[in-house]
Amino acid sequence: MPKTVVSVKFVPSNGTGYLRDINDEIPIAGRFVLPPDIPSTNIAAIVTAAGGELSTENVPCSDTQGGTPRRLVFIRASGNTVSVPISARNDLISAATTIRGILQTTGNEVVCIKLEGEFFPYLNDELGVSYANTFAASHKPPGTDPKQHFWSGTISYGSDGTNPAGGTVFVPIKAISNNSNAPATKFSTIWANCVGNFVDILACPTGGKRVREHRRFLVTTRTKLDPVSATETAQSELNEVPVNDYAGADILTCGQAIAVLNGVYCVGYRGESYSRFHKLLP
């Protein structure tokens, strides 16, 4: 029996827009493969649970080529997977519960559900990046200091993967820095708002496995060891800035603050991923 490829669209003007983590609603297309044992009569119910609508044509003005939407990945006992794009973060558990129920109607149990975060590599226009030939301080250690520093600890984090969504968990982070006891100088003004202070608490042990990948901005900057040097050759550096707040408006505010930092010329975003999402379902 052939697999069925289901095309899904999210269209704001139809009330089925895709709500990005940065709090804007966009048109986007997606698709998923329905295993052969699932009757095609169930397709509409899965798509509705995902917040989208069935698509037989291209989405007008789609953002599809600009990124990929978040997905819930259902892994079944038979080994096959169904990866469904989901329109919003605030009701992931309800969507997962509904879709899991549909996928189990044939007796093939869903044994695991993973949340895969959205990825948009280029958000310059949305966030207001306007590079003005400035340079940031490099994250490399200054002078003759041979040791690369890291700013690491545990943050209090509003997670997509909690029940209800937005619950606080403690997440370990490790950020490259030119300072031995502070975040990288180039992010010093936004760090408190985007990431927050470290909390005096140990993150839960996970046996070395990262089950939760926090949301983050991917920030590319032009840097120099001395940002005002007229003779030093500039470098490009890519850094991740974790975002601790769950609320879309706060994520956007963080991104906008990053966008106007000296040296920043490219900003992307990757949403939270959580490999144990099935544990949250009733």
Partner 1 sequence: MVLAFYSYITDTGKIYNFLPVFISQINPELSTLYTGQELLEDLLPSNLIDINLPCGVSGLIQRSLIVRFNDASIFRIGYSNLFSQLLADQLIADPRVDLFTFSGEIIQYSRLKKLLT
Residues forming contacts to partner 1 in the complex (CB under 8 A) are: 27, 60-63, 65-67, 121-122, 124-126, 131, 220, 235-238, 265-266
Select 91 or 237, whichever has its Cβ closest to partner 1. 237
The 3-state secondary structure of the chain reads CCCEEEEEEECHHHCCCEECCCCCEECEEEEEEECCCCCHHHHHHHHHHCCCEECCCCCCCCCHHHCECCEEEEEECCCCEEEEECCCCCCHHHHHHHHHHHHCCCCCCEEEEEEECCEECCCHHHHCCCCCCCCEECCCCCCCCCCCEEEEEEEEEECCCCCCCCCEEEEEEEEEECCCCCCCHHHCCCHHHHCCCCCCCCCCCCCCCCCEECCEEEEEEEEECCCCCCCCCCEEEEEEEECCCCCHHHHHHHHHHHHCCCCEEEEEEECCEECCHHHHCC
Q: 242 or 268, CB closer to partner 1?
A: 268
Q: How far is the CB of 205 from partner 1 (least distance, A)?
A: 35
Cβ nearer to partner 1, comparing 131 with 198: 131
Q: Which residues pair with 177 in a beta bridge?
A: 149
Would you say 67 or 271 has its CB closer to partner 1? 67
Least CB distance from residue 63 to partner 1, whole Å?
A: 5
Query: Least Å distance between CB 109 and partner 1?
Result: 39
Please identify, using beta-carbon distances, which residue of 28 and 34 lies nearer to partner 1.
Answer: 28
Residue 8 near residue 47 (C-beta atoms within 8 A): yes
Q: Would strands 4-10 and 53-54 be described as parallel, antiparallel, or unpaired?
A: antiparallel
Q: How far is CA 72 from the centre of its chain?
A: 13
* Shortest distance (Å) from residue 166 CB to partner 1: 27
- In the complex, the smallest distance separating the C-beta of residue 266 from partner 1, rounded to whole angstroms, is 4
Nearer to partner 1, 41 or 65 (CB): 65
Q: Which is nearer to partner 1, 10 or 246 (CB)?
A: 10
| Cβ 94 to partner 1 shortest distance, Å | 29
Strands 71-76 and 81-85, sheet pairing: antiparallel
Least distance in angstroms from the C-beta of 58 to partner 1: 12
